[in-house]
Amino acid sequence: MEAQWGQPLNKDSHSAVAVALDAAERHGADGESTRGFKPSWELAAVAALIVIGVLALPWLKPGYRTLSFALTTGVTAIVLYGMAIPFGQAGIMSLGYAGLMGFGAYTAAILSRDFGMNMWQAMPFSAIVAAVFAGLFGLPSLRISGHHFAITTYVMCELLRIVLTNGGKFTGAATGLDLPPIGTVLGINMDKLANAYLLVAVFMLASILVAYLIGRSSYGRTLRSIRENEQLARSVGINTNLHKVVAFMVSGLFAGVGGNLQAYNYRHISPDLYGGSISLNFALMVMLGGARTIFGPLTGAVIVTFLPEVMRIDPVDSRIAYGLALIAVIMLLPGGVIAVTERVYRRLTETVIATRRVGPSHAGSSSARGD
């Protein structure tokens, strides 16, 4: 009896099976990546390659279509890096991010229409409005957890879409709103797609850097403690409720900036860009790449955006292939593409090291399990 009273609150206790299997999962294939972003020369090398690759893209003459896909990927990735803070670090999945992006985008459009603000002037407002609503969207997480919360946020997104659609002149109803061009930034004309892409790319790289720094910081550690064991986190004095809401608000800043950039690059926004199904797609990208890895969200965004494009088949066939590919990746690579790649890489290097050394080390594995 007493043992039951002391049970930890389980995140997935909506289902007996999930609870019972949870322990098994915890001891499952969680890689190094779950502990925050450890610096290493490999990480630095990959980071350098990504920075060079992303910034060099326009000079590779990718064609208009590819470049605009890349721009979309960049905008999406900004939102995904925000989403990865509560999801990857604190372990709370929200499906509200398309909606939060929508707050950023509509804020930008309305401020431009009613107050003549340009992109830069509107950006702080986009970020703050999205952050405030991110906090509001996150509030139910104090009461409900796991998939209940995820579905609640999905529904909030759908609510927002309905409100935007029925918002009359203020939100432009189903047709949406138009925005002026970005104009020039530091004397560079943003009407040229390559320049607009580079602007987004810089924001995206910055958001990866910020996400990395958060993951490395003691704040990231605090969030991970909530993910790993909320009750223990509380017992050492962590105000878990406050940290959850703050994590959501921080992620909302990313979504707001992403929404602002999206609005100014598309120059036309409508409610359908910010509904629940778009949010689901974001969740897919993050999970596909791996929410707990630093390059996971970017990888997921690239795969999901470019996969149908690369296959270049009839749109319906491409959707079917996409769905099947998705199922295959999830079944074959649980934990995300990056985590699996990382594990394979580590196994390869370990084999190399092990053959160089005289046998593998057994640090700490000799202690017997008491009973």
Partner 1 sequence: MVTFIQELVNSLSVASVIILMGIGVTLIFGLTGIINFAHGEFLMLGGIGVWVLVSNGLGYIPALLISVALVGLLGFLLERGLFQFTLLRPNNGFMASLGLSIVLQHVVIRIWNSFSKSIPEPLPGVWEIGQIRFIKMRVVVVVVTAIVVAVTFFTISRSRYGLALRASLADRQTAALMGIPIRRYITVIFAYGSAIAGLGGALTIALFPITPFVGSEMIMLGFAVSLIAGLGNVAGVVGAGLILGLVNGMSGAYGTPEWTNAYSFGLMIVILIFRPQGLFGGTMGPAIE
Partner 2 sequence: MTVLEVSGIRKQFGGVVALAGIDVTIKSDEILGVIGPNGSGKTTLFNTVCGIYRPDAGRVRWNGEDITAKAAFQIGRLGIGRTFQQAMSFPALSVRENVQIAMEHGSRRGEGAIRPWSSPEELLAFVGLEGFADESANAMPFGNLRRLGIAVALGGRPSQLLLDEPAAGLNEAESAELVQLFRRVHQLGVGVCLIDHHVGMMAELCGNLIVLNFGNKIADGPTDTILRDAKVIEVYLGAQS
Distances (CA, A) of 150 to 224, 235, 279: 19, 26, 10
At how many degrees (to 10) do helices 97-115 and 64-84 cross?
110
The smaller minimum CB distance to partner 1, of residues 171 and 260, is found at 171
Which residues make up the interface to partner 1 (CB under 8 A)? 9-21, 24-25, 28, 93, 139-140, 143-149, 151-152, 154-156, 158-159, 162-163, 165-166, 276-277, 280, 283-284, 287-288, 316-317, 319-320, 322-327, 330-331, 334
**What would the two tokens of residue 15 be?**
């289902």
The smaller minimum CB distance to partner 2, of residues 30 and 317, is found at 30
At how many degrees (to 10) do helices 97-115 and 146-165 cross?
30
Q: Provide the mask over 1-30, with x wherever binding to partner 2 is found by CB under 8 A and - wherever it is not.
A: xxx-xxxx-----------------xx--x
Sign of CA dihedral 39, 40, 42, 45: positive
Q: E strands along the chain, which residues? A: 177-178, 184-185, 188-189, 268-269
Residue with tokens 């995904």: 80
Residue with tokens 């986009």: 126
The smaller minimum CB distance to partner 2, of residues 1 and 186, is found at 1
HSE, CB side, 13 Å, CA atoms: give it for residue 37.
29
Q: Provide the mask over 65-104, with x wherever binding to partner 2 is found by CB under 8 A and - wherever it is not.
A: ----------------------------------------
Q: Can you tell me which of 126, 222, 251, 265 binds partner 2, judged by CB under 8 A?
A: 222
Residues 6+ apart with CB under 8 A from 66: 309
Q: Provide the mask over 227-266, with x wherever binding to partner 2 is found by CB under 8 A and - wherever it is not.
A: -xx-xxxxxxxxxx--------------------------
The smaller minimum CB distance to partner 2, of residues 355 and 361, is found at 361
Q: For residue 141, state whether it binds partner 2 (rule: CB under 8 A).
A: no
Residues near partner 2 (CB under 8 A) are: 1-3, 5-8, 26-27, 30, 34-36, 218, 221-222, 224-225, 228-229, 231-240, 363-364, 367-371
